[in-house]
Amino acid sequence: MTSVDPVDLATEVGPLRLKNPVMAASCEATMTERDIVACLDAGAGAVVAKSVNESEAAARQLNIAEYVLLDGAGDQVDWPDRVGDETLLCRSGLAQSSLDDWLAMLERAGRHARGLDAHVIGSITVAEPGPAAQIARRMAEVVSAVELNVGAPHGREAAAVRQLTGPDMVAEYTRVVRAGLDVPLIVKLPAQADSPAELAHAARRAGADAVAMIGRFNGFWPDVRTGAPLLGSWGAVGSGAMLPTSLYWVSKTVAADPDLSVVGTNGARSGTDVARFLLSGARAVELATAVMLRGPAVLGECVRELAAVLADAGHRRAADAIGVALAKAARYADIPERERPAQPWRVPPRG
């Protein structure tokens, strides 16, 4: 029997080296030291802690958080009955600790991460740029990197957080937070903009070391029996069905600037999905919904599945897979015309 060489999963996000590209994304499953440690122990290369900002209203918004699951037919699923591939529709708020307590927690979790050759990343979902810069500088004393979320979908529903959709605003926030920050800065971008790729390039020009993209969309889902929307309001929505859209923007962003470090997010549910993000040009991938649905162990499963998928495709290093699909993607204009376009919908289904 021949032994297969293990795949080297190491990757780089700007100047930050990760032992593997599987990251826990900022969410309620990364809001306590215990949860962050569980994600690290499961094998994540990095964990992005739940976001904070300067606004008490943003933290209070967590008191009206609600999380609804939908199955493939759009019917509500009770949490104990979930199978793990559901769509998650929610309202959410920010962490409620005092900044001092939060930083002390991040420091302890960061020490634990270092023992595992992993990282804890602090996160700020922005309200105003000045206070975000102050929080980032304090965070930088205890974490490996800071992620600045300028794209929260809840920013469309409440004033306590902001969603920036134009390149000028993204550049301004990035510049203000970058100044005086001595750890890598990742800017997390919204999906809902004319061009998330343009926002990414604006963030980079303003000093971001990396971008994370794309944030979730807003959602609305009426119950057909009662006529009332689930959650009783608008919300944010995440589903595996978002993956192609996320891969579109990651690949377009990297195609325009191959040196830009992009972290993929929105729609990854497995190690195979992580591989899809890498092939589209991402250097690492953040998962939130999968961790909330299936627990932190899913992160270790993703690491193992990623290694297997890459080995199967003949890659010895994760870094070698990054952007491979870009080189194989043609522009519409370069696709040769066929005499008769295929009409696969006319073929009757099997069985």
Return residues touching ligand FMN (CB under 6 A).
25-28, 50-51, 88, 90, 92, 94, 123, 125, 149, 188, 215-216, 238, 265-268, 286-290
CB of 171 to ligand FMN, least distance (A): 19
- Closer to ligand FMN by Cβ: residue 66 or 312: 66
Please report how many Cα atoms fall inside a 13 Å half-sphere around the Cα of residue 160, on the Cβ side. 19
- For β-strands 185-188 and 210-213, DSSP reports them as parallel
Using DSSP's 3-state secondary structure scheme, residue 48 falls into: strand
CB of 331 to ligand FMN, least distance (A): 28
The closest alpha carbon to 188, from 196, 283, 282, belongs to 196
- Closer to ligand FMN by Cβ: residue 254 or 268: 268
CB of 145 to ligand FMN, least distance (A): 13
- Closer to ligand FMN by Cβ: residue 184 or 267: 267
- Closer to ligand FMN by Cβ: residue 96 or 134: 96
In the numeric block, which tokens belong to residue 166? 């134009």
Q: Exposed e or buried b for every residue in 146-169, given b needs 16+ CB within 10 A?
A: bbbbbbbbbbbbbebbbbbbebeb
CB of 161 to ligand FMN, least distance (A): 9
The per-type count for the chain, helices as H runs and strands as E runs, is 12, 15
Q: Residues 117, 121, 123, CA angle at the centre, nearest 5°?
A: 170
CB of 340 to ligand FMN, least distance (A): 39
CB of 345 to ligand FMN, least distance (A): 30
The closest alpha carbon to 16, from 52, 48, 50, belongs to 48
- Closer to ligand FMN by Cβ: residue 238 or 271: 238
- Closer to ligand FMN by Cβ: residue 125 or 261: 125
